[in-house]
Structure 1
Amino acid sequence: MSWLAIDRIDADGSTLECTLRSSPDLERFLTGEPFRVSYDRSIEGVPEGILAIPALANVCPVAWANGGDVYVDRVDATFAHALEEVEASLCSMHDFLEGGTLYARETTSATVTERSVAGDDRHATGDATEDGGSALLFTGGVDSTCSYVRHRESEPTLVSIRGWTITPDRADDEKWDTLRARVSSFADERGLETAFLETNALSALDHAMLLAHYRRYVDGAWYSSVGHGLGLLGLCAPMAAARDVSDLYLAATHWDGIDLEWGSRPDVDERVRWTATRCHHDGYHLTRQDRLDVIADYVRCDAPNLELQTCNRRLDGNCGECEKCYRTAVGLRLSGLEPSNHGYPFSDADYDQLRRSLEAGAWELGEDERYMWEDIRDRVLEAGPEPRSPEERAFFEWLRAADLESLVEDTRAPLSHRLFRVGARNAPTPVYNAAYPALKTMQTGLERVRSR
C-alpha cells in the first residue's frame, strides 16, 4: 500500500513548516527535508486546516501517480472537496495517474474569528464572497501582465514565488532580489500591494526523481505537465487567509483550442478553492497574440514605458537571443509596438538569425511553443500589419510555409539523456542517490517551469 503523510504542521511567525513521511515505495520522491514556505507577514492566526493546503497541493499528485493515499490531521473542508475534483481532472488528463484517497482526522471550516487574521471580519464560513480582495500570481511576463490589465480595477495584490524558476539556494539570491525589485517597482507605480513567498517545494519533493520517473509520460517537466497549477495556488492559501483574498488569479499559459496535458488548465485551476477563496484560470479565451493586443492597448492608453520580462536566460532584462525573447518581440511587432521600447533588443536584422536558429533546432521546443508560433503565423495570415522591411517580409513568408511540427520534433532531448533518465527511474534508491548529481546537472537547461 502506497501512502504519504503530512505531520507536525507548524506556523512560527511568517514561516510554515511540516514533515513528510511515506511508504517505502514512495521514499525516493522525498529528500527528507521538511516542507517549508515563508511568507512576508505573520500566518500564526491562520487555521490549521488552511495551513495544510500548501503541502497537500504539492504532495497529492505524487501520491496519485502511484495509487497512494494521503494522510493529514486537519484540512479545510472546502479544499478537501476541491482536491477530489482536481484529482478527477488530472487523472482524466494523464493515464499514468491512478488516484488515491485523502484521509483527515478532522475537516474544518474557518470561523469569523479565525478568518480575521488581517483584522477584517467580513468573511464567515463558506466559499468566496465579493467582499474580499483579489490577488494575482505575477512575474511581469505576457500572461500575468495581461491578467493585471484585465483586472486592474480591482487593484490585485501581486504575488511572486521563489522556489520554482528561482531556487531557494543562496546562488539565486541575486535573481530573487531582481525579481522582487522589478515587481515592487511595477506595484509602486500603480499603488498595489505585493506578497512574496519562498518555498523549498522542489527540494522537499525530489524533483529530479519525479522528472526521471515520469518524463516519459509528459511533454515537459513534472510540475509543468502535472503539478504547477494546483501547487502554485495551494502555496498561496495561508497568504490569502492572512490578507483576506477572496479571488486568486493564475494567468493562463495556453488558450481554448489547445488540448495539451498541462498542469495549469481551466479544469484544474478553476476547481481549486478553500474557505473564503476561489481560484481563477485567467485569460484562457485569449491567445498569446490576443494578450499582447490587450497589453498594447494598455501601453497606448496608460503605460507607454511598460517593459515586459519573459527571458529564459536572465531576470534583469531580456537577452534578446533566446527563443522566448524572439517570439515575444515578433508578437509585439504584430500588435503594433516596437519591441525595443518595451524591453527587447530587437531589430529587422534579427529576423534572419531567428529563422536560422529555428531551422537548426537551436532551442529545445515543446508542443506549447509550436502552438505559440502557429498563433503568430495565424496573425500574419489573417490580419498582420504590412511588413515594414524586406527582412520582416522574408521572415513572414518563411513562417507561412514552415513545418512547425517538424521543428518541434527535431529538438527533442538527445537519446543519451533519455536513456539516463530510464536508468535513474529503475535504480534502487541508494544507486539513484549516487547518480543524482549527474541527473541534476543534465536536467538544468532542459527542463523548466515556464515563467508567466
Structure 2
Amino acid sequence: MFNIDLFPQALKSDENGQTRSCLLQQTTMGESVTEQELWFAYPMNLPMPEDDDCDSYLLATLLPAMQLRAAIRVHGSVSHELLANLTELQYVWSKWLPERYFLIDIQVDRIRDQDLQVESAIAAFSGGVDAQFTAYRHATGRAGYATRDIKAGVFVHGFDIPLDDTEGFNSAVEIATQVLSDINVDLLPVKTNVRALWSIDWEEYHAAAIASVLCGLKRYAGIGLIGSGDSYDVLLTPWGSHPITDPLLSCGNFRIIHDGAGFRRSEKLIILSSWSIGIRNLRVCWAGNKHDKNCGHCEKCVRTRLNLLLAGVDNPACFDTPIDSSLFRFMVLKSDAVRIDWSLIRQEIIETGRGLEWLPYIEKVLKRKSSPKLSGLFPFGSKRRMWVKKMLMRNK
C-alpha cells in the first residue's frame, strides 16, 4: 500500500515562461520514500492560480493513485466542488474497471468553498479532427445556444509529441497558430511531464491529464472544452474522455465540458470541409517519425482518410500522397475502440454509397485478428519505443 503526499511549490518565472509544480512524495508500507516533481510550464503574462492551489495536481494524481491503491494527502488547498466530483469519479472507474482502479482516501489541508469563476472558455487543441471541430463550431457560432466564447486553444507538449522533440512541437505550434488565427482564436503552448510521470494506460488517463493542464488556466478562462471522440450512439465504455466522466473533472471555478458528442467523426468533417485552412492542416498522426505532419499510412491516418472520403473530401493536402490499396495490406487494428471506428466507416460507406471501392479492403482489415497491446513493452517516450518507430519507418 502507498501514500502519496502532494507538496505545492512556489511559481517559477523566467524569460521562457512560468512553471507551476508540485512535489510528489510516495511512501510505501516499508517506509521507503521516492520523490518526483510534477510540473506545468505556461506562457508568460497569463494569470496563475495561487501557489497552494492543488486542483491541477490532484486531477493529475487521482487515477494513478487509484491504480496503486495509494491514499492521497494534499498539503495545500483544493476546491470543495472538485473533491465532491472526484468522489463520484472514483465510483465510476471502480465500477468500470474494478480489477484496476480502487477507492482511495483523500485528505486535504484546506478546502476552498468559494472560488470566483472568470468568463470565456479555452479548448484543448492538438490539430486533430475533434479539436478542430470544437474550436471551429464555437468560434463561428455553429454550436447554437451551447456556443462558448473561446479565447484560446491549448496545445500541450508532452502528450502526443514527446518532450524531447522540441523541433517537431515548435513546427506544429506554428501551424496550429496559423489555423486558429483564421477564426480569431489564440494558441497557448503548454509543456508538462504529466504523461511521462506515471505508468498508466493513456486511453483511460488522457482526459484527466488534459483537465489538469486546462485547470491551471482557471484565472484566464472559466470553462475548458474537451472535444469528444465517439458520438452518443456509439460510446465506448470505459474510456478516458467520456460524457459521464469529463464533467467530474470540474472544480469550483473551472468547468470541464465534453464537447461534440452529437456528431460522428465523418459528420464533423462534413462541417470542417468548409474550413479550407483547417482541413489543409489537420494533424491526426501519432505514429509517424515527424510529429508536425501526418505519415499518411498509419492506422489513424488511413482511418481519417476514409472519414474524409465520406465527408466528400478527396485526397486533402494534409496527406502527401493519394490513398491507395497498399495502405490496407498489413493494417492491423489494435484496440476495440479502433475496431468500432472502422466498423462505423464500413456502415457509413454502405449507407451513403461513398467510397464503395474501398469496402473490400476495409472488410479484410476488420477480419484480421487484433495484435496484442504493446504499450507496456514500449512505453510512451521511451528510447525503446523511439528505436522501434525509426526501424519501422526505415522499412516502409
TM-score, shorter chain, exceeding 0.5: yes
Q: 2:349 aligns with which of 353, 362, 380?
A: 380
Match of 1:41 in 2: 44
Secondary structure of the equivalent of 1:231? helix
Q: For residue 142 of structure 1, what is the amino acid of its counterpart?
A: V
TM-score by length of 2: 0.84
Q: For residue 79 of structure 2, what is the amino acid of its counterpart?
A: D
Q: 1:441 aligns with which of 372, 377, 384?
A: 384
Match of 1:215 in 2: none
1:185-230 per-residue CA deviation (whole Å, 9 max, x = no partner) reads 1122222122221112234x2x4xx25xxxxxxxxxx1222x2111
Q: 1:287 aligns with which of 264, 281, 298?
A: 264
Q: Tell me the percent identity.
A: 18
Contact 1:319/1:325, CA 8 A, preserved across alignment: yes
Distance across 1 between alignment mates of 2:66 and 2:327: 41
Secondary structure of the equivalent of 1:139? coil
Q: For residue 345 of structure 1, what is the amino acid of its counterpart?
A: D
Q: How far did 1:142 drift?
A: 0.8
Answer yes or no: is 1:87 the counterpart of 2:90.
yes
1:254-296 per-residue CA deviation (whole Å, 9 max, x = no partner) reads 2222333221111111222122221011112222222222212
1:163-197 per-residue CA deviation (whole Å, 9 max, x = no partner) reads 1122223xx11011112111111122222122221
Match of 1:430 in 2: none
Distance across 2 between alignment mates of 1:48 and 1:304: 37
Contact 2:169/2:292, CA 8 A, preserved across alignment: no
Answer yes or no: is 1:326 the counterpart of 2:302.
yes
Distance across 2 between alignment mates of 1:183 and 1:58: 25
Gaps of 5+ in 1: 112-123, 212-221, 422-435, 447-452
1:138-162 per-residue CA deviation (whole Å, 9 max, x = no partner) reads 0111111111122113344110111
Q: How far did 1:2 drift?
A: 2.5
Answer yes or no: is 1:133 the counterpart of 2:129.
no
Answer yes or no: is 1:411 the counterpart of 2:371.
yes
Gaps of 5+ in 2: 142-148, 390-396
Q: For residue 441 of structure 1, what is the amino acid of its counterpart?
A: R
Matches within 5 A, 1:2-81: 2-13=2-13, 14-24=18-28, 32-42=35-45, 46-48=49-51, 51-73=53-75, 74-81=77-84
Point out which structure has higher relative CO (alpha carbons under 8 A, 6+ apart). Answer: 1
Q: For residue 57 of structure 1, what is the amino acid of its counterpart?
A: L
Secondary structure of the equivalent of 2:326? helix
Q: For residue 28 of structure 2, what is the amino acid of its counterpart?
A: P
Q: How far did 1:304 drift?
A: 8.2
Match of 1:449 in 2: none
Match of 1:160 in 2: 155
Contact 2:231/2:262, CA 8 A, preserved across alignment: yes
Q: More strand by proportion, 1 or 2?
A: 2
Distance across 2 between alignment mates of 1:442 and 1:26: 33
Q: How far did 1:444 drift?
A: 7.0
Indicate how the Cα distance of structure 1 residues 17 and 413 shifts in structure 2: closer, same or farther if over 3 A, else same. Answer: closer
Indicate how the Cα distance of structure 1 residues 327 and 267 shifts in structure 2: closer, same or farther if over 3 A, else same. Answer: same
Contact 2:82/2:251, CA 8 A, preserved across alignment: yes
Match of 1:311 in 2: 285
Contact 1:289/1:375, CA 8 A, preserved across alignment: no
Q: 2:214 aligns with which of 236, 248, 251?
A: 236
Q: More helix by proportion, 1 or 2?
A: 1
Contact 1:12/1:44, CA 8 A, preserved across alignment: no
278-287 or 30-39, which deviates more = 30-39
Secondary structure of the equivalent of 1:34? strand
Match of 1:115 in 2: none
Q: How far did 1:68 drift?
A: 2.1
Distance across 2 between alignment mates of 1:355 and 1:71: 50
TM-score by length of 1: 0.74
Alignment size in residue pairs:
372
Match of 2:394 in 1: none
Match of 2:392 in 1: none
Q: How far did 1:410 drift?
A: 3.5
Q: For residue 65 of structure 1, what is the amino acid of its counterpart?
A: Q
CA RMSD in angstroms, aligned pairs only: 3.0
Answer yes or no: is 1:200 the counterpart of 2:193.
yes
